[in-house]
Structure 1
């Protein structure tokens, strides 16, 4: 049975992937599976609801969290965030102040309180327009919002641009739109200087933090359960990561803050991306050592496993496969710790698969391609997996080849066939085929046993393979024709026999008599009367046979038949022509030509 902790970990994974509804479902299951109410789980779910702008549910869970543990400061930041989302600035202010009463050094609450106070001042100073008149009176506002990284993507929506213009023209009349469109809350927060994306703590804030202190406050990785609610959600309230300088807290509280502590690591994304771009340029120039150095620089500046994946690619192209393997393994491990996008982890696994494929370690290649598909399914990796699996089977088949063992299996099959033990004969001949896949006799012999078991289609397939392996193997043609005859596929049977006759004549005609016997049998069965059919009905049916109609409409055959009516002996001369003989025999079998 899945435990509450497992559901909680599952919720964290979904949150990291920004699949907030799934995260909510998992946290809900964790709450249901808990033996007693857990304030951390309600905090997590509140953050997930807030990411979906579902403020009523976010507020409800935040209130539940606070009621379960009124002494836990973090719960009040959840409460403040939900209130801010509603536009209840006074209630949000109270919640932040309560947090600071319990935890005076809480940087998140300090920043949030400052932002809320700014929002209240702006609203109060501008009457009912909530301060929009002052904020939206810039004639270049649209251009600035389009150029601002935080709002550029939003401003690609013409409907949103129209709303901004409406607020510009009538701030007071359109103020209520802020409460119906969360994107406008992001825009106004940007104009007020509020960071809506919950940024990590300023790197300088940790500059003086000792390593000893950092270690003492970092929770065990296995207990890291708080989703990235503060740095990845789009809640409409500011937040920063909490200081690592605080004294260790109870285990549950440490669990809830784990993600924030990870994000407090100093990082410089711009510098990292610049180093990555330089690395990419060097990579294209095949200066792999220099590219690797740049990717390392990027990783040291900002923990994004994309840089490790790139480094592994450079090591792969350089031919240093062992180093590339270690880098990919590190990318997976680090990616798990920082809850990286599952697609990036999938790329790490896929690259591991490609490296092992290059090393000709097919088993490990399959292992990591499969792991990659478990994280994220892509056609390219799926194709590589299936191709590698086929290669493994092919190699296994080749390794199994043994002519001596094949001969032993053939003799064993022959013995079973003589004893009329058809199933074991099929099994023995199957073993012969595996041991000697290029020996046409194995397929032909198995076809003979399959015919005895009335498995005619399988027998035909085996005969086709035998003919493909050895086009002059007449016995395979004969067995195929027998199977087709038993299936009453007369036309196909006769075509197979005609092909066999041509091959046999080139080889000396040793089997021509057997071939003709089967041919005549097929022709007779093809045109014989069906039970309950009168001779007239039989003749009418036969006359409509497509092959008979074709022969009778052939001008050459019409001339031969006309001549034969006047001079029956002339027909014998024409029979010396194999093609003519075939057609005349067909007409004789059908009863169109009657001999005395």
Structure 2
């Protein structure tokens, strides 16, 4: 029993510190020694819930009330988890059962009241919106959801929610589900806004200057509704009135960037009212501005714990998670930042947090890409690809060239090699894409230009192929492969009959640019020289301006090189 008690205390300490996985481990070890201890299951349920593992939290809560049916806290734990899972009718039943054993239990009363308020505010909690006739017809005829039905996973998800609406709370992170709900409920505005109304008003709290966090304004009240009056300061208990005053003084100092003074006022606010998450969050905001990121994280974790205990607005808890994410971002701990942005999203979704999450995911992906780079392994993969290419196994060679590119994405020759494989497999579009990347990385890589020319020939795009071969000749005017490709492109344009040729030349002569070139005495002299001595072409192509004019004449069909 002493060992069980020690493990329980270790679990409690880890839970208080926000180390949820560690707490779960300690409680599990204790349960293995004493499987009939209802308190251990209750504590592990709390740890699972804080870790976002609500199904496991529910299983432990149910085990708690099974072991101790007359213990009110077990029902409070069960009701809370059911509420998180979106199973609000069951949550109401759990709270009401607990009140039978302890009618004056404040936690049970507050939990029951909150769930009933949520049910009254929004039809999502009154029935299953997915269990309606012609569900798929309605979604198919609405442009917002029409394309979703082409995804088998989405259809499977709808069927799951039809059969088990209690899982809706777990699926709200999927923006498709939110859009679907807005269609099913015939709402003009996004269901995100509707759901945000359930979470109440946000506290007056300083914001991080680096990553502002805002929520959509609540919709206007209906005309017949009478707005609920704000409580007057004189109506507040003395401690809350004093705390509010200190917060206001802190906010004034915060806005003036007088953070030490702001911190003093926020700390005094906490002394007056230690149960309000807003003041805890304010302190964390000061630490963030002071670049005390570790302190900021610790303070936010404390704020979240206090918020959970006192059933704070989900938006305030989400804000604390976001600030932890921002602090980890400053510390360049990208994975931790991602984890806490995701936790924030699970509490309350906003476009701002979604953007932050997308940015950090892109950063992680880029870091992983950089960490994967290894020029030595890239060369090894290239050699394997070369061997397979020689054997005619082009598909497998592509895999090795692709791996070489991942290992060293700035090496032009790997793209050229893979383009050669694509060409052999007649995948010209993919080959062309690799050639473009190749010459982008190394514009002087002559092989890339030649390969691009050959691919464009295969795609019947002779004028573009001419340009590619010309680029190669500018780099090396004596390159036989480039010359052969250039001449092949030119000769292929002269297989038409006489009438076609006349039409081509007539169109060319109507081109103002062509007329300008032909009127240029220097160009006329060059053309005569090329006619008498075709070898002069190589010298003239070294001049970019002349080369461009010659190419224009060739593309128009007025001249050809054989």
Secondary structure in structure 2 of the residue aligned to 1:407: helix
Secondary structure in structure 1 of the residue aligned to 2:312: coil
Match of 1:397 in 2: 369
1:422 aligned onto 2:405:
no
1:183 aligned onto 2:226:
yes
CA contact (8 A) 1:313 1:324 kept: yes
1:312-351 paired onto structure 2 within 5 Å: 312-351=284-323
Match of 2:447 in 1: 475
Query: Structure 2 CA distance, aligned partners of 1:323 and 1:48?
Result: 35
Match of 2:489 in 1: 522
Query: Structure 1 CA distance, aligned partners of 2:560 and 2:368?
Result: 60
* Residue 344 of structure 1: how far off its partner (Å): 1.5
Structure-2 change in CA distance of 1:348 and 1:44 (3 Å): closer
* Residue 291 of structure 1: how far off its partner (Å): 3.0
* Residue 358 of structure 1: how far off its partner (Å): 1.9
CA contact (8 A) 2:540 2:546 kept: yes
CA contact (8 A) 1:551 1:557 kept: no
- Correspondent of 1:540 among 484, 503, 525: 503
Structure-2 change in CA distance of 1:524 and 1:377 (3 Å): farther
Query: Structure 2 CA distance, aligned partners of 1:465 and 1:279?
Result: 56
CA contact (8 A) 2:504 2:556 kept: no
Secondary structure in structure 1 of the residue aligned to 2:377: helix
> Which runs of 5 or more residues in structure 2 are unaligned?
1-53, 63-74, 101-108, 127-220
* Residue 319 of structure 1: how far off its partner (Å): 3.7
* More off after superposition, 439-448 vs 412-421: 439-448
Deviations 1:369-402, CA, capped at 9 Å, x for gaps: 1222232333433333222222222222222222
Match of 2:181 in 1: none
Structure-2 change in CA distance of 1:339 and 1:418 (3 Å): same
TM-score computed with the length of structure 2 as normaliser? 0.55
Deviations 1:42-87, CA, capped at 9 Å, x for gaps: 98787568779xxxx9xxxxxxxxxxxxxxxxxxxxxxxxxxxxxx
Match of 1:311 in 2: 283
Match of 1:294 in 2: 265
Larger relative contact order (C-alpha < 8 A, sep ≥ 6)? 1
Match of 1:460 in 2: 432
Structure-2 change in CA distance of 1:46 and 1:559 (3 Å): closer
Query: Structure 2 CA distance, aligned partners of 1:583 and 1:282?
Result: 70
Q: Decide which structure has the larger Cα Rg and report it.
A: 1
Structure-2 change in CA distance of 1:568 and 1:449 (3 Å): closer
1:553 aligned onto 2:515:
yes
Deviations 1:504-547, CA, capped at 9 Å, x for gaps: 3xxxx452x32222122223334543xxxx5424542564469x
* More off after superposition, 367-376 vs 412-421: 367-376
Secondary structure in structure 1 of the residue aligned to 2:226: helix
Structure-2 change in CA distance of 1:442 and 1:182 (3 Å): closer
- Correspondent of 1:431 among 403, 408, 422: 403
CA contact (8 A) 1:523 1:586 kept: no
CA RMSD of aligned residues (A): 4.7
Match of 1:487 in 2: 459
> Which runs of 5 or more residues in structure 1 are unaligned?
15-22, 58-158, 161-179, 187-195, 204-265
* Residue 482 of structure 1: how far off its partner (Å): 1.7
1:364 aligned onto 2:321:
no
CA contact (8 A) 2:446 2:472 kept: yes
Match of 2:150 in 1: none
TM-score computed with the length of structure 1 as normaliser? 0.52
1:413 aligned onto 2:376:
no
